[in-house]
Amino acid sequence: MAEDLKAGFTGSPSNPPEGVRKTAKAAATAVKRETTALAIGASDHPHTATSVVLGIGVIAFALGYLVGRSGDGDYRRWH
């Protein structure tokens, strides 16, 4: 009797995903594929990956600084 017991789902779903579920599954597969490719590329070229990340950080800092400095010049916060 215990040998006939099959616990867990080992088959495939009776209804394949449709609509939003199908699109979400395809998007998740694409994201996994791209992140894997990115990780492989970064491991193959660590200096380039570091330079790219550092460059993006410098650009983000510069944009933040410029946006922060572009406020009204007559406004004095501590006055």
Phi, psi (degrees; rounded to nearest 5) at 6: -120, 100
pLDDT tens by residue, 51-62: 999 999 999 999
Whole-number pLDDT of residue 31: 95
pLDDT computed for residue 45 by the predictor: 93
pLDDT digits (tens), the chain, 79 positions? 456 656 666 666 666 778 888 899 999 999 999 999 999 999 999 999 999 999 999 999 999 999 888 876 666 666 5
pTM listed for this prediction: 0.53
- 51-to-39, 43, 78 alpha-carbon distances in Å: 15, 13, 39
